[in-house]
Amino acid sequence: MQGGLPLRPLLLARLRPMKIDAALLDILACPACISPLRADEAAEELVCTGCGLAYPVRDDIPVLLADEARKPA
């Protein structure tokens, strides 16, 4: 038996779509304008329904920092 390589969670994470818990999304709000956020699964971002800032999601953790957000076009 070969010494099994450890699983690689990082690699596995790339094979499945972003997964944000709906209950979590419910309680999150845009730090800039306190509007609700919606998940953009294709872009792996949380997009503010108010000001339009798009927050990145890293390893399923939303990064709700205005400094990290992508501004709307």
Interacting residues toward Zn ion by CB under 5 A: 30, 32-33, 35, 48, 50-51
Residue with smaller CB distance to Zn ion, 35 or 40: 35
Q: Assess contact for 52 and 72: CB atoms under 8 A.
A: yes
In the three-class reduction of DSSP (H, G, I as helix; E, B as strand; rest coil), residue 23 is classed as helix
Residue with smaller CB distance to Zn ion, 28 or 48: 48
To Zn ion, the closest distance from the beta carbon of 61 in angstroms equals: 19
Residue with smaller CB distance to Zn ion, 33 or 65: 33
5 phi/psi in degrees, rounded to 5: -70, 145
Q: Assess contact for 44 and 59: CB atoms under 8 A.
A: no
